Amino acid sequence: MRNALAAESSGVTRALPAFESAAEDYHSRLRGHLLKVKEDRAEFPLVDALLTPDTRSTLSLATERADSVRPEGLHERITAQAEALAQRLHASA
């Protein structure tokens, strides 16, 4: 989506379809993630009961490391860009 927005800003006339395709893919992945969260409410407690304290600690450290490399405010910036584009296209975000 970032590349399509940059291309569109540069005047590339076919950037919008590329953005739409990427946005649809992102939406599909997000929707799948949210559905998975529902499943996780039942699965996580079961898996958690099977994990050893050492494994829990390792998973926790790995999660912290992954979170530390994600740029600050990334989600907010992407959301703001999507909302701005939706307003330009007269659509709802």
pLDDT in tens, 14-33: 777 888 888 888 888 888 77
This model's pTM is above 0.85 = no
The candidate with the shortest Cα–Cα distance to 59, out of 79, 67, 72, is 67
| pLDDT > 90? residue 54 | yes
Question: What pLDDT score was predicted for residue 93?
Answer: 46
Question: What pLDDT score was predicted for residue 61?
Answer: 92
Placement of tokens 């699965």 in the chain: 43
User: Is residue 86 a contact partner of residue 1, using CB atoms and an 8 Å limit?
Assistant: no
The dihedral built from the CA positions of residue 37, 43, 49 and 54, taken in this order, carries a sign that is negative
How far apart (Å, rounded) are the C-alpha atoms in residues 8 and 27? 20
List pLDDT tens digits, range 63-91.
Answer: 888 888 888 888 888 888 888 887 887 76
Count the neighbouring beta carbons within 10 Å of the beta carbon of residue 12.
13
How far apart (Å, rounded) are the C-alpha atoms in residues 63 and 60? 5
